[in-house]
């Protein structure tokens, strides 16, 4: 999904407005309550949060903007791509300054402060599954992440990094629906959707949302769950913000994945991509992806 040309970082930035619309507010509100309780339990020390597959830091921005986090937080962002981590450092610094916070850079870390808030931010290039074992976390966040892996194994490994009674939050977890409308060729569109999900299942999980809910119900308390479908649609023939780019990236990603499988004639796929891009140019394409937000707490005694 990524390359050295900055397209992936632009995709993550473009995804921000799509996620903002999609995220389930009731789950986010419940997270705020859970974070306040975790903070009480942490006593005088700051709340320790690990954001796995953090990309360029959009989740931290949102959690601060929506007042979900307590006042004193140590927030570690881990991503295995250096380009994402560098972009996160830069973006977060700019975002905090724009929001009127004091920003201090200490080596590779950032401190964001105002009268009543202090967030120590550590962006780290590392594998999330190795990094999670380095410490014990109060809260684990992984947005648009679990579907990249076998959900059950990934969930089990990540939640092991939490302290007893700690919480996890996995929003925008893909759950097996990719709708592009209007059709290009209904029969080809259906084959492409099926093959794309099969490609995700080769290493990842195209139904990660429901598998997460099922596994978490066996081991933990699910505090809240809700749908967070991406819905990208034109308004008067145009897309807001950078969402036309977002759509092009999605279409190209689907075609790139299917090219690798060798199951489609390259010419057929190229024709499909060109038709989808024309729909975007004309402001006709609507895209829906089915996803779930799930929040839970591990048992207090482990």
Ligand X SMILES: C[S@@+](CC[C@H](N)C(=O)[O-])C[C@H]1O[C@@H](n2cnc3c(N)ncnc32)[C@H](O)[C@@H]1O
The span from the CA of 168 to the CA of 40, in Å, is 17
What mask of x and - would describe binding to ligand X in positions 180 to 219, judged by CB under 6 A? ----------------------------------------
The residue from 14, 18, 48, 53 that contacts ligand X (CB under 6 A) is 53
Write the interaction track for ligand X spanning residues 120-139; mark x where CB under 6 A is met and - where it is not. Answer: -------xxx----------
Positive or negative CA dihedral for 241, 243, 244, 248? positive
Nearer to ligand X, 84 or 279 (CB): 84
Collapsing DSSP states into helix, strand and coil, what is residue 160? coil
Of positions 31, 144, 213, 294, contacts ligand X by CB under 6 A? 144
Least distance (Å) between residue 125 CB and ligand X = 9
Cβ proximity to ligand X: between 129 and 264 the closer is 129
Which of 7, 37, 80, 277 forms a contact with ligand X (CB under 6 A)?
A: 80
Q: Which residues pair with 226 in a beta bridge?
A: 293
Q: Among 32-40, 79-87, 232-240, 282-290, which window interacts with ligand X (CB under 6 A)? A: 79-87
Does 58 participate in binding ligand X (rule CB under 6 A)? yes
Binding ligand X (rule: CB under 6 A), the pick from 17, 81, 253, 259 is: 81
Selected binder of ligand X within 24, 68, 84, 276 (CB under 6 A): 84
As to burial, measured by CB atoms within 10 angstroms (0-12 exposed, 13-18 middle, 19+ buried), residue 210 is middle
At closest approach, how far in Å is the CB of 250 from ligand X? 11
Question: Could you tell me the smallest distance in angstroms from the CB atom of residue 196 to ligand X?
Answer: 15
**CA–CA distance, 64 with 49 (Å, rounded to integer):** 13
Using CB under 6 A as the binding rule, whether residue 78 contacts ligand X is answered as yes
Angle at 210 between CA 205 and CA 211, to 5 degrees: 55
Strand spans (E) along the chain:
47-52, 72-79, 102-106, 109-114, 117-125, 137-141, 162-181, 221-227, 230-232, 286-297
- Give the up-direction half-sphere exposure of residue 220: CA atoms within 13 A in the CB hemisphere: 27
260 burial type by CB count under 10 A (0-12 exposed, 13-18 middle, 19+ buried): exposed
79 scored as a contact of ligand X (CB under 6 A): yes
Q: Does 259 help bind ligand X (rule: CB under 6 A)?
A: no
Write out the two tokens for 39: 């903070």
Name which of residues 22 to 41 contact ligand X (CB under 6 A): none
The token duo for 43 is 């006593």
Task: Identify the residue among 30, 55, 91, 169 touching ligand X (CB under 6 A).
Answer: 55
Q: Would you say 225 or 250 has its CB closer to ligand X?
A: 250
Q: Quick check: 151 binds ligand X (CB under 6 A)?
A: no
For residues 118 and 250, give the distance between their C-alpha atoms in angstroms, rounded to a whole number: 36
Among 76, 93, 143, 206, binds ligand X (CB under 6 A): 143
- How far apart are alpha carbons 191 and 53 in whole angstroms? 30
Tell me which residues touch ligand X (CB under 6 A).
Answer: 12, 15, 53-55, 58-59, 78-81, 84, 127-129, 143-145, 148, 172
């Amino acid at each position: 999904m990524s390359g050295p040309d900055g397209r992936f970082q632009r995709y993550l930035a473009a995804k921000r407005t799509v996620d903002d619309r999609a995220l389930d507010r009731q789950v986010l509100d419940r997270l705020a309550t859970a974070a306040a309780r975790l903070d009480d339990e942490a006593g005088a020390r700051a709340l320790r949060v690990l954001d796995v597959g953090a990309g360029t830091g959009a989740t931290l921005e949102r959690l601060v903007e929506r007042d979900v986090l307590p006042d004193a937080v140590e927030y570690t962002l881990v991503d295995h791509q250096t380009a994402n981590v560098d972009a996160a450092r830069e973006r977060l610094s700019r975002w905090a300054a724009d929001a009127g916070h004091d920003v201090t850079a200490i080596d590779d870390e950032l401190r964001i402060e105002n009268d009543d808030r202090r967030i120590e931010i550590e962006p780290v290039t590392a594998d999330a599954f190795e990094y999670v074992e380095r410490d014990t976390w109060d809260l684990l966040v992984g947005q648009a992440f679990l579907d990249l892996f076998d959900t059950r194994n990934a969930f089990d490994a990540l939640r092991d990094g939490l302290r007893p009674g700690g919480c996890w939050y996995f929003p925008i977890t893909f759950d097996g629906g990719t709708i592009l409308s209007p059709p290009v060729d209904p029969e080809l569109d259906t084959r492409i959707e099926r093959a794309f999900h099969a490609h995700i299942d080769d290493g990842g999980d195209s139904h990660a949302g429901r598998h997460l809910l099922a596994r978490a119900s066996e081991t933990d308390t699910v505090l809240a769950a809700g749908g967070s479908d991406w819905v990208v649609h034109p308004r008067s023939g145009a897309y807001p913000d950078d969402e036309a780019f977002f759509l092009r990236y999605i279409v190209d990603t689907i075609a790139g994945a299917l090219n690798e499988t060798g199951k489609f004639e390259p010419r057929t796929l190229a024709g499909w991509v060109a038709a989808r891009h024309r729909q975007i140019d004309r402001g006709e394409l609507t895209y829906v992806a089915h996803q779930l937000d799930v929040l839970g707490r591990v048992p207090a005694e482990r």
